[in-house]
Chains A and B, each alone.
Chain A
Amino acid sequence: MTARLAAALAGVALLAGCASGSPGPELVVFAAASLNQAFTQLGAQFEAAHPGARVRFSFEGSTTLVDQLSAGAAADVLATADESSMDRASSAGLVSGTARAFASNTLTLIVPAGNPAHVTGLDSSLDDALLVVCAESVPCGAATKRLAATLGVTLRPASEESKVTDVRTKVESGQADAGIVYVTDARAAQGVDAIAIAGAERVRNVYLIGVPATAGQPALGAEFIELVGSSSGRAVLDAAGFGSG
């Protein structure tokens, strides 16, 4: 009994040690969900250039990230998928200095491979198709609404998802006949074909990056932002489908 208790306590001590005992500085990056693949690659580059340093990511919707910061979460870098989230963070004093634009994203249609519902674009081909989009209250949905208004089309979606990845997975699984996502999501999706929307470039989401006021490692955070803006950072973002900032 005592031996078992001691073993359990030792286990707890070991776990606690793992959580706190990392050798070098730790950089915490809060980034919009669409940056997942690009930033994970840049994180590996950053760790290679800073021996001992470790980069930890939290990929969430931009609004969720700003909510978490305002609730007291500590991060060294904040990268949002739209200007309004960063504006909200800046005006609440959550970001030190000015955030800078580093990438942009546009919308595209995706359909399951082979295009079973014969969708041709944002036109009458969507009338009999199950279309899934983002809800208006999240950035990708706001962009979708702006684009539809700009192009003068009325969308009749079968579902309005809270996350762009939920739109993607519904097309990937064949539940939906078409979805409107960012170009970068289309690039990362499996088993889907992208159908470019004529005039999509008229609605651009600008990605902004800055150092939160609560940063424990502000200098390291600034260095990560340098990397994102460098030519190698640009190359990774280009490969993921992002436009210039």
Chain B
Amino acid sequence: MIRPPLPRWLAVPAVMAAVFLAVPLLAMLVRVPWDRLPALLAAPASMDALWLSLRTCTLSALLALALGLPLALLLSRARGRWATVVRTLATMPMVLPPVVAGLALLVALGRRSPLGAWLEASGIGLAFTTAAVVVAQTFVAMPYLVVSVEGALRSARDDFEVAAATLGAGPTTILRRVSLPLVAPAIASGTALAFARALGEFGATLTFAGSLQGTTRTLPLEIYLQRELDTDTAIALSVVLMALAALLVAATARWGRGAQAWA
């Protein structure tokens, strides 16, 4: 049966929404100094920032996956008040202003905190290190993975798992052969989202990790700094960031559609 059409007047606000979202992004493309783009991006500060961002975001996305996936699995089966508390805490960094996330990390892991002091005494002080960047990025990115995977697990069918158990499969085998393959698209898109969020991370990094070329100054921090000095470089770097983000978002949408086909 053919779905009945939507009312035609919807097109007016819909077009307005699309234009509103697209115009600033397209305006940026118009302002890009295309002829000088390779030179601007080849500058050592730009290359350092880009390379640092790619390295830290890869680590953060992997950490988010390694720790967030088990959390999503447990949460998807958990019920009751404590599950709600943990779920709320696990999603908080998504809605916190980044500066607040940075302050929270500073209070928890800064050199004055008991945990931070202990880390420093053990010779693994985080202050102004690349590790601090990864911590800040993972803190804000992991919730995206947890939320998308938990949602997929909750809406996934459980009859395959029941069948596997009836056939004598143990919990680890069921997890590996049945449960995880069922939500593979959501795991992939959740990891891509976490990577994208880590890529855009700014406030928590600035507050918690600092800003030094090659060590803690990621792409967004370099853009923020260049904006003071050389708008062209800031725009060139912004375009790279936008292109990376667009790729990730497109990949997420693709894998997301894959998830629908599975369910």
Binding site for B on A (CB under 8 A): 61, 63-64, 130, 132, 135, 137-138, 157-162, 166, 170, 173-176
Contacts of B221 in A (CB 8 A): 162
Number of B interface residues, CB 8 Å? 19
Is B56 an interface position by the 8 A CB rule?
A: no
CA distance A157 to B210 in the complex (A): 11
Contacts of B106 in A (CB 8 A): 173, 175
Q: How many A-B residue pairs have CB under 8 A?
A: 56
CA distance A138 to B216 in the complex (A): 18
Whether the Cβ atoms of A161 and B228 lie closer than 8 Å is: no
Q: Which 6 A-B pairs have the closest CB atoms?
A: A159-B210, A137-B229, A158-B128, A174-B112, A63-B228, A159-B128
Is B212 an interface position by the 8 A CB rule?
A: yes
Binding site for A on B (CB under 8 A): 106, 110-112, 127-128, 206, 210-213, 216-217, 221, 224-226, 228-229
CA distance A180 to B112 in the complex (A): 20
CB contact under 8 A between A175 and B110, given known A161-B210, A166-B206: yes
Whether the Cβ atoms of A132 and B228 lie closer than 8 Å is: no
Whether the Cβ atoms of A137 and B111 lie closer than 8 Å is: no
- Residues of A contacting B: mostly: loop
Whether the Cβ atoms of B225 and A159 lie closer than 8 Å is: no
Which of B211, B212, B213, B228 interacts with A61 by CB under 8 Å?
B228
Whether the Cβ atoms of B206 and A137 lie closer than 8 Å is: no
Whether the Cβ atoms of A137 and B226 lie closer than 8 Å is: yes
Which of B111, B211, B225, B229 interacts with A175 by CB under 8 Å?
B111
23 of the cross-chain contacts (CB-CB < 8 Å) are: A63-B228, A63-B229, A64-B228, A135-B225, A137-B225, A137-B229, A138-B225, A138-B228, A157-B212, A158-B127, A159-B128, A159-B211, A159-B212, A160-B212, A160-B217, A161-B210, A162-B206, A162-B225, A162-B228, A173-B112, A174-B112, A175-B128, A176-B127
Nearest opposing residue in chain A for B107, CB measure: A173
B241 to chain A, nearest CB (A): 17
